[in-house]
Amino acid sequence: MARLSFALVLLATVAGVSPGLAQDAPSKEAQSKDAAPKPASAPSVATTPVTPAKVARQPYLSDTAAPDLVAILPAPPRGQSAAETADKAAFTATRSLKGSPRWDLATTDVADGASAILDDFACVIGQRIDQARAPALMTLLERSRLDIARATRAPKEHYRRIRPFVGNDAEICVVRSAEIANAFSFPSSHATQGWTYASIMAALIPEKATQFFLRARSYGESRVVCGLHWMSDIQAGRTTGSVVFAALQGDAGFRTDLERARTEVAKLVASGGAAPDQAICKREAAGYDSIL
């Protein structure tokens, strides 16, 4: 035992560490990292492994300015209420849509985020926006997405509502996984994103406001078609999106970026761009009809 103790002391001395701290003391670099304040915002949606040095996006709203959606949203349907019965009926009815054009649209609408939803708005805009030429618009959408994520996170964790496909073998439009099953359902993050982004795009191109919101409605309802959300989750997502957009308009940074994006989008639309696939546009337009 004495030899073992001596060996440990010797190893610690060679490493330049006090014997009493040989296993527990962090390096100066680690101490410096520990002392640094943790980021106050969610991780950036813009930072990727390919561009690790890219400046992280920050949400527009501060913690104090961000709306409390737990307080704003009514609780999701429970028990044997009429609302819960309607939710279950919608889930059951939409299982028969598998193989239909509406199912195909819902499957395409699984993609979320600024780039995906902007592409989904191409038929409304009348052209596909070249996102590489729209840095102001992408900044606006990506930063807003962080505010959207924060707004939906609290009620999801508060209510912990289970998704409709859990506990049964009904058809859904994605591969079942524990990750999806364990992600809470209320409100729908997809529906919230779609509605918030429709609000932003309607502010940028007001003459197409009706079409943006029609597309956002069908985008949200695609989650019901897919079997991933209850209809009341979608309705709560629309409310959440409206609340987030209203709060964002009170932020000076958001308003500045909105005006930059307005100028940028006007130039891009005026200069013309790639036409969207008309077959896709036809399918999307058919999706404007309510699923129920």
Q: Are 74 and 232 in contact (CB under 8 A)?
A: no
- Averaged pLDDT for residues 232-238: 98
Q: What's the start-to-end Cα distance of the chain, in Å?
A: 77
Residue 210 has pLDDT above 90, yes or no: yes
pLDDT at residue 55, as a whole number: 59
Residue 10 has pLDDT above 60, yes or no: no
Domain ranges in the chain? 83-286
Q: Which residues contact 4 (CB under 8 A, 6 or more apart)?
A: none
pLDDT in tens, 43-100: 334 444 444 456 568 999 999 999 999 999 999 999 889 999 999 999 999 999 999 9
- Averaged pLDDT for residues 169-184: 93
pLDDT at residue 79, as a whole number: 85
pLDDT at residue 289, as a whole number: 85
- Averaged pLDDT for residues 212-241: 98
Q: Residue 213's closest CA among 131, 87, 120? A: 120
pLDDT at residue 292, as a whole number: 61
- Looking at residue 161, its amino acid is R
Residue indicated by tokens 């502010």: 203
Alpha helices, DSSP H, located in 109-251? 114-120, 122-125, 135-159, 178-181, 189-204, 209-225, 231-248
What CATH code would you report for 83-286? 1.20.144.10
Residue indicated by tokens 């629309």: 238
Q: Are 272 and 127 in contact (CB under 8 A)?
A: yes
Q: Indicate the angle between helix axes 231-248 and 189-204, nearest 10 degrees.
A: 40
Q: How confident is the model at residue 131 (pLDDT cuts 50, 70, 90)?
A: very high
pLDDT in tens, 110-122: 999 999 999 999 9
